[in-house]
Amino acid sequence: MKRITLALTTMMVLGGSVLFAVPLEPEFQPRPFARLVSFDELQNRLSDPNLRLLDARSRADYDKAHIPRSVWVDVKAAQKLGAKPGGLSDEDAWKAWSTPLAISPTSEVLVYDGDRQLDAARTWWLITYLGVRNVGLINGNFPLWVQQGRPVTTVVPKIEPQPFPVSFLADRYATRSDVLEAIKGNTTQVIDARSDEEYTGEKAVSKRGGHIPTACHLEWSDLVDKDGRFLDEDVLRSKLKKFALNPGQPVITHCQSGGRASVDAFVLERLGFPAKNYYLGWSDWGNAEDTPVVAGKEKNKK
């Protein structure tokens, strides 16, 4: 079905134009907007009670110092939960994981980490998958925040745990079946966020090495600098030209186990490509017995 991109209809009345809004049907509601927030904007909003800021670093690093009012999020626990058989559909487990964060489906959530967005992006994707739509990332990592002399603290904010009504968003997550359908047609492009060695099969982390047929290679580390800042949009768009993607074309990102694919998904959504994350990725595809695999270098193509 063709995507509806406009919520306005023009009615001609007596030679004039009357412009009125038409509500979108539920299936055409905007996807989560991948917000990217600057240090300056964040610093100006540190006292905003409507903002939930999450620190995706280790607990030890958080305890040493963190951005004021930020709450520690246990990314490793989320990673383990997502990797368990059936973990991505375990509603009770995700409720338990999210309750200490005191977020709701209408919360505004921003996430940062201490490296190059891997843990922050994974957290971003998981929280949107659980049903929160207003989630973004901070453009830069914690060491850069400190280097610039911005405020830090050791004070842990006191927040009341809040049970979260988990509502998995199917349009965020791709299954193996979704990927198999995607490689049969030309409407959805598969994007591989892994390293070049993993893509070619030189490095095999699962039973089989290589890549998914028709998958384009867009390594996550080519999208973020060493200080956790995403490249300029013009530079990112130039990297996508070789894939011949059409504006608004759906994509499915994947890596080994969800994190790197989340970085790609964030960038692609910012640039206007509706992205699903094949979160189980090569840990699922490469360990299956009957999934098609291409070994060796293959030119990026649509």
**Model confidence over 245-270: pLDDT tens digits?**
888 899 999 999 999 999 999 999 99
Residue (of 144, 167, 138) closest to 70 by Cα position: 138
> Rounded mean pLDDT of 234-247?
89
Residue 164: is its pLDDT beyond 50?
yes
* pLDDT bucket at 187, cuts 50 / 70 / 90: confident
> Rounded mean pLDDT of 140-147?
98
Q: Which amino acid makes up residue 209?
A: G
25-29, 46-50, 172-176, 203-207: least confident range: 25-29
- Walk me through the domains of the chain, giving residue ranges and CATH numbers: 30-169 (3.40.250.10), 173-285 (3.40.250.10)
Q: What is the pLDDT of residues 48-83, one digit of tens each?
A: 999 999 999 999 999 999 999 999 999 999 999 999
Q: What is the pLDDT of residues 71-125, one digit of tens each?
A: 999 999 999 999 999 999 999 999 999 999 999 999 999 999 999 999 999 999 9
Which tokens in the block code for residue 56?
């995706």
Residues forming a β-bridge with 12:
17
Residue (of 246, 283, 279, 286) closest to 264 by Cα position: 279
Report percent pLDDT > 90 for the chain: 81
Residue (of 129, 128, 124) closest to 88 by Cα position: 129
State the helix-helix crossing angle for 118-130 and 75-83, rounded to 10 degrees. Answer: 60
Q: What is the mean pLDDT of the chain?
A: 88
C-alpha pair distances (Å), 67 with each of 229, 261, 291: 17, 26, 45
Per the CB < 8 A criterion, the answer to whether 140 and 173 are in contact is no
